[in-house]
Amino acid sequence: MIDVANGGSRTLGAILKQSDRSWFFKLTGESALVGAQKEMFVAFLKSVDFPAEGAAGPGAASRRMASTNDLPPAARGMAAGPLAESALPPGHPPIDNSTMPAAAGAGMAATPVPTASGPALTWTAPASWKTKTGSAMRRGSYAVPGPEGEGDLSITAFPGDVGGDLANINRWRGQVGLPPVADVAGGAQTIEAGTLKMLLVDAANNGNRILGTIVSRPGETWFFKLAGPDALVAREKPAFVAFLQTVKAP
């Protein structure tokens, strides 16, 4: 396993070689966040298994590609991607899509990211939101149509605090090109839905907007996020806030 820290960032990487292919696993992000997740990353590596030498890995039914925008900072680096050159062993050639063997595409799937396994929250979506096919990462997925375009509503859940509220607030701000805030109060407001306390983030910039909600539960964190054109998301904000009021704990 490779463990490299530089300039406030840290990368954990692992290379698993088989006779006909190599697999690359990478976790990257802020140094403190990656350090806090190292034990989980090592446990994840120990869970990797192949039925036999040369097997292509998980079957097609379990290969799920998902946008890294769904991932909190502490988990984003677990998604499939090239290993940073600075994290490679001395003398190892750079790795990117152009240097991957042609056969790799058929055998390499997105690295699974651990998702929360506790009792699920429930909710009722507005009738105007269209249910989309989910993924292994998403607990819920909706298209939010409008004259301005289409918004994407995602519901995800991960173990632990996945880096903390501030890091996740700044993740969403960064996705629309806004600078980070120094504290939670500067980037989110607290709302309540029944017995649940939530942090609501409203970040807009350059014609794009994100409404994001963080719900901390024992041992896990849930994220409700609506992203899309600024005008559409702004128009849907009352519906989004009303939707949050339908979220219930078991």
The answer to whether residues 93 and 141 belong to one domain is: no
- CATH number for position 168: 3.40.1000.10
For residues 149 and 218, membership in a common domain is answered with yes
Angle at 126 between CA 122 and CA 128, to 5 degrees: 145
- Helical H segments across 164-229, by residue range: 165-175
Encoding tokens for residue 161?
């605090």
The DSSP symbol for 55 reads -
Two tokens at 94? Answer: 């750079």
φ/ψ of 105, rounded to 5, equals -60, -35
Instruction: Please check whether residue 227 lies inside any domain of the structure.
Output: yes
User: Do 196 and 98 have their domain in common?
Assistant: no
Q: How many angstroms separate the Cα of 120 from the Cα of each of 115, 168, 204?
A: 11, 21, 30
**Domain contains 162:** yes
Examine the domain organization and report whether 144 and 89 are in the same domain: no
Residues 227 and 144 in one domain: yes
Same domain? For 43 and 142 the reply is no
Mind listing the pLDDT tens digit of every residue in the chain (250 residues)? 888 887 677 888 888 887 777 888 888 877 777 777 888 888 788 878 766 544 444 443 333 334 556 666 655 554 444 444 444 444 444 444 433 433 333 343 444 555 665 578 999 999 999 999 877 788 999 999 999 999 999 999 999 988 899 999 999 999 999 999 999 999 999 999 999 999 999 999 999 999 999 999 999 999 999 999 999 999 999 999 999 999 999 8
154 in any annotated domain: yes
- Judgement on whether residues 92 and 152 belong to the same structural domain of the protein: no
Q: Are residues 9 and 66 in the same domain?
A: yes
Residue 117, domain member (yes or no):
no
Say yes or no: 99 and 141 in one domain: no
Residue 114: inside a domain, yes or no?
no
Q: What is the pTM of this model?
A: 0.60
Evaluate whether residue 15 is within a structural domain. Answer: yes
Q: What is the pLDDT of residue 19?
A: 74
Which residues partner with 217 through β-bridges? Answer: 220
Query: What is the C-alpha separation between 229 and 207, in angstroms, rounded?
Result: 6
Q: Which domain holds residue 60?
A: 2-107
Give the total number of structural domains in the chain. 2
pLDDT of amino acid 114: 59
10 and 95 share a domain? yes
The answer to whether residue 250 is domain-embedded is no
Q: Are residues 96 and 201 in the same domain?
A: no
125 located within any domain: no
240 shares a domain with 141:
yes
What does the alpha-carbon distance between residue 216 and residue 205 come to, in Å, rounded to a whole number? 27
